[in-house]
Amino acid sequence: MENDTPVDDGQTDDAATETETAATEPQDEAAKLAEQLAAVQQDLLYARAETQNVRRRAEKEVADAHAYAATRFARDILSVADNLGRALAALSDEQRADEAIKPLVTGLEATERELMAVFERHGITRIAAIGLPLDPNQHQAMLEIPSDKEPGTIVQEMQAGYMMKDRLLRPAMVAVAKKAE
Distance separating alpha carbons of residues 145 and 140, to the nearest angstrom: 14
Residue 173 is predicted with a pLDDT of: 94
Average pLDDT, the chain: 86
Residue pLDDT, tens place only, 42-89: 999 999 999 999 999 999 989 888 877 788 888 889 999 999 999 999
Query: So where are the chain's domains?
Result: 12-67, 71-179
Q: Which of 159, 156, 124, 154 is nearest to 136 (CA)?
A: 154
Give the 3-state secondary structure of residue 178: strand
C-alpha dihedral (78, 127, 65, 82), degrees to nearest 10 = 0
Please give the span between the terminal C-alpha atoms of the chain, in angstroms, as a whole number: 134
Q: Please give the CATH topology (third level) of the domain spanning 71-179.
A: Nucleotide Exchange Factor Grpe; Chain A, domain 2 (2.30.22)
pTM value? Answer: 0.62
Residue 6 has pLDDT above 70, yes or no: no
